Structure 1
């Protein structure tokens, strides 16, 4: 009996694993664009639903499917393209509340039964808190949130020793920022001190240091010059990116870097580049998206907005769109 008990236990675990894999398959499908039409593919770029919709969402747990759009109307489809809800919601995706969908017919919103898909009563929006009511959140907006800054109390003895040469109010002024201290003289900026790494970065006539952050467990310092563009150096002042960028965004934890620089053909435009964790360079400004599974392992997705839609790329540089 004991052997049977153990077998049943492992059988239960196995069945649970299989059910989780079946349940998670839909979550692993990615909106795929071909030209102006959208469908679904998997992480290996195998087409699951042929591009035929004007837009499509990633998997939505709340409705158990994917929001898709045809001719300005939204419906819900499953991973095979079969309709869960027909395309009847005018210009806005269908949402779910309790056991009912909420559908907009162009004039009003109505409940539809999740079970029968039949139209029910008119949807009545719940009353919102009046303007000025303390529960409406308006009082929270009355004052601007103050920037959190360091103070002398945040410094230890080693910090005070490092700053001793600049502890002269007649000559220097120490401006405390969120995670560094800016050292100023009467007529120029001397540099910055970073307490977290116990290091001073002195400015030169060509380069000024204006901030820093950790990225991939290493500190990096932002630089600038008279062009008002930005660059990046490491903790040893070795150049990582030259001073030529309008912005440098380091997404620590995702190992993602987004760079923008002025477009030489259009002074009012910026050119964006995104560097993935594997150092592959993509055109455009990508953001961190969902995490799915590929071959049983976590696989990070990134996306950029094109014509109001999310266009996806994988962490290995695979593009899930064309044209």
Structure 2
């Protein structure tokens, strides 16, 4: 019975250790990188050119220092010395290292060089099971046409609503989820069949699109300065017309707002509103969930100088400078 409980305890402890290693975050200070936990406690002092997320297959973090790649543990212990000219891959129980002129296997146990690897593939070799490097962006089909509404999609109630505008005086343009109403090159407004409502423009404000966010519909507006705003279905202002762009990302419960940088007119300054209404400076996208205070803790990332920099759902920034 004692041995049974001991086994359960050891299994529990191994899971805890694994979770802790996965819970470290690449942390940037200026131009160098280290590691910290979700509380921003530094476990590896920033000193490396780059550092990856924890790689279970390598039992460590892929790291670059002065143009050489190695693997370190969560407390800066060297798992594989900085001898490779390329990121180190893991093949079974061996490291695959590009050692000056060729690829060689290295023992994960002794760190000694083994036989040479004869590369047959034409594609480059990257670290495996590594969430920090070598990620593939979603494939985009630029030739896919946007689906638009047609008369066949409208109900009898929709047709009745549009009847005052269904004549030679007006022009109806069918869009993805709404219908534009115009007259003599003047935009009159939009009709949204799903909401059974017409939103009429004013001399100062035009309605341009709409979408759902957290189950509620919102309508985008543009003023005479071409700045965007947002209203609800009762035309109550949610965001004033002072933004260059507004994006509602309902799947992740994020809002992106941008304004033109007054010091660089070709640049946009972004703000991200998180699901808990925390505001981050910059455009942040979901990364992964870790643990904090025993609860799931969502991380977000933004790209700075080509690298992912991280922030937590509580607004904690895991980078500076």
Asked if Structure 1 and Structure 2 have the same fold, meaning a TM-score greater than 0.5 normalized by the shorter chain, the answer is yes
Gaps of 5+ in 2: 125-138
Give yes or no for contact 2:103–2:116 (8 Å, CA) kept in 1: no
**Selected match of 1:287 from 268, 273, 285:** 285
* 1:60 matched to 2:55: yes
**Aligned with 2:146: secondary structure?**
coil
The answer to whether the Cα contact below 8 Å between 2:259 and 2:268 also exists between their aligned partners in 1 is yes
1:153 paired with 2:131, answer no
SS in 2 for 1:236: coil
* RMSD over equivalenced CA pairs, Å: 3.1
How many residue pairs were aligned? 305
Q: Identify if the C-alpha distance between structure 1 residues 237 and 12 changes in structure 2 by more than 3 Å, giving closer, same or farther.
A: farther
Q: Give TM-score scaled by structure 2 length.
A: 0.82
1:263 is aligned to 2:261: yes
Aligned to 2:27: 32
Matched ranges for 1:72-151 at <5 A: 72-90=67-85, 92-97=86-91, 100-105=94-99, 109-112=103-106, 114=108, 117=111, 118=114, 120-126=116-122, 144-151=143-150
Measure, in 2, the Cα distance between the counterparts of 1:162 and 1:9: 73
SS in 1 for 2:226: coil
Question: Counterparts of 1:103 and 1:292 in 2: how far apart (Å)?
Answer: 30
Determine the C-alpha separation between the residues in 2 that align with 1:141 and 1:259: 24
User: For 1:20, which of 15, 21, 32 is the aligned residue?
Assistant: 15
Give the corresponding residue for 2:246. Answer: 248
**One of 46, 64, 71 as aligned partner of 1:69:** 64
CA distance in 1 between counterparts of 2:21 and 2:83 reads 23
Give the gaps of 5 or more residues in structure 1. Answer: 1-5, 129-139
Deviation, structure 1 residue 51: 1.7
TM-score by length of 1: 0.82
Q: Post-superposition shift, 1:95? A: 3.0
Structure 1 position 198, deviation (Å): 2.3
The equivalent of 1:212 in structure 2 is 210
Deviation at 1:299, TM superposition (A): 0.8
Asked if the contact 2:278–2:313 (Cα under 8 Å) also holds between the matched residues in 1, the reply is no
- What is the CA–CA distance in structure 2 between the aligned matches of 1:43 and 1:141, rounded to whole Å? 33
